[in-house]
Amino acid sequence: MGPDKDSPENGAKRRPRAVSAKEIFGERAGRYEELDVFSQEKYYQPLIDFAGPRPDDRVLDLATGTGLLALLLARRAKEVTGSDVTPEMLERAVDRAKKGGQENIRFVEAEASSLPFPDASFDLVVCRTAFHHFPEPKKALTEIYRVLGPGGRLVLADVVGATPR
């Protein structure tokens, strides 16, 4: 039996392997904080003002990256959980929290489509410039609504690019 008709031996082009967000951002974690849009508070303030975290809120920062948004939310909320799929990003978030002296914050490795939190764990879920990276957006939304308590709020801020024609 010879090679498959779609194999490279028969002249078929090899499809590039899909690279996951976890891989991409794992490689970029060290440079991420060098970008102004991910390292300066002024870029986060409009989202925080819109979200309006309250002193008794339990907040989830979904796809927290290096944790700056989570840290800023922790100044105004009771407790904040930053979740991300990328361990390298979370390491930087933990370091940032230690340097900032924040005690009402924790970081958890988690997929947006399978959150490891009980139902109604949060009053506010925020996700900034990450939702477009989620491979299963419908599952992620289902999970977000599952972990939000009654009257909970979701603030999703993302970018949309034009599709090339």
pLDDT at 69: 94
pLDDT at 104: 97
Q: For residue 49, is it within any domain?
A: yes
pLDDT at 43: 80
- Report the alpha-carbon angle 3-20-108, nearest 5: 140
Q: For residue 137, is it within any domain?
A: yes
Find which of 4-13, 23-32, 33-42, 108-117 is predicted with most confidence, using mean pLDDT: 108-117
pLDDT digits over 27-54, tens only? 554 555 655 445 566 788 999 999 999 9
**6 contacts: CB under 8 Å, gap ≥ 6:** 12
Instruction: Specify the pTM.
Output: 0.76
Task: Please state the rounded mean pLDDT for residues 100-123.
Answer: 95
pLDDT at 75: 94
Q: For residue 8, is it within any domain?
A: no
> Helix 21-32 to helix 87-100 angle, to the nearest 10 degrees?
40
4 pLDDT above the threshold of 80 = no
Domains contained in the chain, number = 1
Q: For residue 3, is it within any domain?
A: no
pLDDT at 135: 87
Q: For residue 63, is it within any domain?
A: yes
Q: Where residue 133 sits, what CATH number does that domain have?
A: 3.40.50.150
Identify whether the C-beta of residue 86 lies closer than 8 Å to the C-beta of residue 22: yes
Task: Show the tokens assigned to 32.
Answer: 């991420």
pLDDT at 5: 46
Q: For residue 96, is it within any domain?
A: yes
Mean pLDDT estimate for the chain: 82
Q: For residue 153, is it within any domain?
A: yes
Domain range for 109:
19-157
Q: Which residues pair with 60 in a beta bridge?
A: 81, 125
CA distance 93 to 111: 17
pLDDT at 155: 96
Q: For residue 76, is it within any domain?
A: yes
Task: Please state the rounded mean pLDDT for residues 16-27.
Answer: 50
